[in-house]
Every structure is written in C-alpha cells, then in structure tokens.
Amino acid sequence: MPKPGDKVRIKSTKGEFTGVLMPRPELLSDDVIVIKIKNGYNVGFDKKHVKKVELVEESKPSKPKPVEEVKHNPELPTVAILSTGGTISSRIDYTTGAVYADYSAKDFVAMCPELSDFANIKARKILSVMSEDVLPKDWLKMAKEIKKELAGCDGVVLTHGTDTLHFTSSALSFLLENLGKPVVVTGAQRSIDRGSSDAFMNLVCSVAAASKIKVGKVFACLHGTISDDFCLLINGVNVRKMHTSRRDTFRPINSAAFARVFPDGRIDVLSKDVFRGQEKRLSVAGLDVNVRLVYAYPGMPNKLDLKDVHGVVIAATALGHVPTANGFSLVPEIKKAVKKGIPVIITSQTLYGSTHPFVYSNLRKLSMDAKAIFVKDMLPEVAYTKLMYVLAKTKDLNKIKELMQKDLRGEISEREVPCDFMV
C-alpha cells in the first residue's frame, strides 16, 4: 500500500494523474485522496471516483546538506538577513498539504549563492511566524534586532510574510530613530519550493539595495512587474499590498518608488533623496498598542468601543467623511473620545489623494467641532502605526496633533503629483 511521500499513479473516472501521495489533511474526510502533481499544486480525489492507485516509486528519506559558512570578502559591504517567517520562509507541510514557515535565514544563502556577489552575508532567524499573526510586540523585537545588527553591518534585509508587510515596514520606519543605514523589508507571494516563486529575485534585489543604497530609511523591495524584470524599492510608509496573489502586488501610494533594482545588482534611482541619513545614535522608540483602526461604512454603528483605548484611526470615505446624520452620526462619539483625551485620526480609505478638513460642512463638523485630526494623504495603516509611536511619546492632544500632522518619515506628501496615481 503506498504511503505518504511515495510517487503514485491514480486512475479515476476523470482521467489518470501522477504525483506524490500526501497525508490526508485534517480538514478533509477519510474519503479523499490528495496528491501533489508536477506543477506543485495539490489535487484531491473522492475515493468513489478512484479506480486504482498504483505505486510508481517509493519515497527515499534524504538528509539535508549542511549549510556552509561563506568566506568573508573584505572588499564587499556586509548585509544581515533577518528571517521572521511568512511565505518567503515557507515550504510544503506534508502533514496538512499547506505551507509553513520553516527555512532559516542561512538556508536562503545556501539556496541563493549569488547573494555573496553583492555583500558578505550574516544571517539568522529572529521569528518564525506568518504575517497575519504578527503583533506590535513583534515589531519592537524586529526593531531591536535590526539595531543590534546595524552596529556591524552596512544594511539589513528583513524577510517577512506579505499579508501585513506594509504594516511592519511602516512601524519600523517610526521605531528606528536616527536611522543612518538602509533597512529593506522583503517577502514572497509564492513559497520558495515552487518553480514560480518570486522569493529569490526579491531577496537578491533586497540584498543589492541594502548593500548599495546610502540612505537611512526603511524600504520595501519586491517585484515591480509580474515577470522577473526588476523590483521596486519603496519607502516603507508609502507602500501597500494591492492584490491578493500577483507578484507585483506591492505598489507605491501617493508617491513614486525610490528606485528600480535589477537582479544583476543594477539600481535605477528614481528619487533625489539619495543622501545617507544623519549619523546619530540609533535608538528604538516605544509603542502604545492601545490603538484601534476603524473602517467607516454606510449603516455603521454610531458608537466607538473606547474601553482601554488610547487612540482611534478612522479610515473614512473620500475626503474624510463619516456618517453625520439620520441617527447614525459619529460626531458625538468622536467628541466624547476627544473629551476623554483620546485622539481620533481621520484618513481616507480611497488610499490615493488627501483628506481635507474644510471642503464640506460635514468635514468642518469633524475637524472644528469634534476636533478630529486630519492627516492629509497618510495611509490608514501608516496612521495606525504612527499613532502608536506618537502615543508612546506623549498623551497631550495638542502635541499629538502636531506630530501626527508633521511629516516625519515621508508619510505625508508635500503636494499631489498626478503621475503617482496607480503606478
């Protein structure tokens, strides 16, 4: 009887299929057989449609080759790769048929030796978590580990799951104060044991950027097109995941990309901001995690859950609207929050374009009467992480307003540039 891992041929009423027999996932019934076919996808068969299962080849257990240390090249800069998990660090889980965070940072170097063409690589794992499970406390840990590595490196690459990568790149942008070297956050839409994986090019381009870009900023670096043309290097507070599965899902919002990075190491800088950050003493700031991100929508309750909350960010509609009439007005609740010393920040769920506190009378109600804080074209997720950062520094509403409306890391545009829309 074939066992999981064996290569089998299944003859069914729908045809003949060959692949690796997978253990039955817990979520499926006993009447289902699953194999992994040549293209890497799993195919399930109802046993009542299966005529025969033939053993083609027994599985042979193999020991992984030990990862060799790379010799130091004194002529190259040094880049640290810190692995946190996510799809870029995932392989097939043969217990469930899914993917799980498993590869360590050193494994990346062994599988992608061209990294050593650009830099001496230091690599280690600091977390092993899928990005949907990342918490604010993990951002603090990442920031502290990055600070530790930057003491002896020219740049850091952080591998991360893509689902919340833009939250992390934003949080790190604020947490790492007086940053004088590049920090590049990267990930992958497809796991590294799939032929169509984008992981290797994303990693190569990220290391190239971290070794060559002389700017003290946090960036995201991932595919710029669906092909393997180049990666976009984007300011960590201007980036967002815009598609569930495309390889070029990460796009710059309300801003142009900083640079195009090619897999051969060439860098086409698109920004004039090419100076190295001021060399001060790098420090890691704090976070007040008691912040809520609320989505405005028609018919939403006119109550905000303010229990144990120190700040609220509202992803409002268009220029910054929330319900203000028909018994669903949110204005009294915002007034109540502000009276309690809880700042309410207004962003736009359109993502592109700027909020405005005075264009319409309802906006004036929010900004002038309810004292909500409008933050121009700052993205909702960025406002969420920035407010955590600001609240860790002060609880004074006037100071909070001043800092939230001040451009600290490039999160607020000086002016709107038409060519930056939908790039």
Select which of 78, 84, 87, 347 is catalytic: 87
Q: Which residue has the higher pLDDT, 335 or 107?
A: 335
What stretch of H or E contains 333?
Answer: helix 331-339
> Pick from 199, 182, 194: which is nearest to 233 by CA?
182
pLDDT the model gives residue 96: 46
All CATH 2.30.30.520 domain ranges of the chain, comma separated, are 7-57
Select which of 78, 84, 159, 162 is catalytic: 162
> Over the stretch 315-359, which tens digit does the pLDDT of each residue have?
999 999 999 998 899 999 999 999 999 999 999 999 999 999 999
pLDDT the model gives residue 55: 93
Is residue 241 flagged as an active site residue?
Answer: yes
Work out the end-to-end distance of the chain between its first and last CA atoms, rounded to an integer number of angstroms.
54
Select which of 106, 212, 217, 241 is catalytic: 241
Highest mean pLDDT among 87-91, 129-133, 175-179, 270-274: 175-179
pLDDT the model gives residue 100: 54
All CATH 3.40.50.1170 domain ranges of the chain, comma separated, are 78-284
Backbone angles phi, psi at 337, to 5 degrees: -60, -50
% of residues, the chain, pLDDT over 70 = 87
Is residue 162 flagged as an active site residue?
Answer: yes
Backbone angles phi, psi at 57, to 5 degrees: -160, 135
Q: Which residue has the higher pLDDT, 32 or 262?
A: 262
Mapped onto helix, strand or coil, the DSSP state of residue 211 is: helix
What's the average model confidence in pLDDT over 239-265? Answer: 96
What stretch of H or E contains 166?
Answer: helix 165-175
pLDDT band at 40 (very low <50, low <70, confident <90, very high): confident
pLDDT the model gives residue 95: 45
What's the average model confidence in pLDDT over 245-258? Answer: 96
pLDDT the model gives residue 110: 75
pLDDT the model gives residue 16: 93
pLDDT at residue 54 is higher than 80: yes
* Superfamily covering domain 78-284: L-asparaginase, N-terminal domain (3.40.50.1170)
pLDDT at residue 105 is higher than 80: no
Select which of 102, 163, 193, 288 is catalytic: 163
> Pick from 157, 146, 178: which is nearest to 88 by CA?
157
pTM (2 decimals)? 0.85
Is residue 18 flagged as an active site residue?
Answer: no
What's the average model confidence in pLDDT over 97-107? Answer: 57
Q: Specify the fold of 7-57.
A: SH3 type barrels. (2.30.30)
| CATH code, residues 291-404 | 3.40.50.40
> Over the stretch 339-349, which tens digit does the pLDDT of each residue have?
999 999 999 99
CB 102 within 8 A of CB 89: yes
All CATH 3.40.50.40 domain ranges of the chain, comma separated, are 291-404
Whole-number average pLDDT of the chain: 90
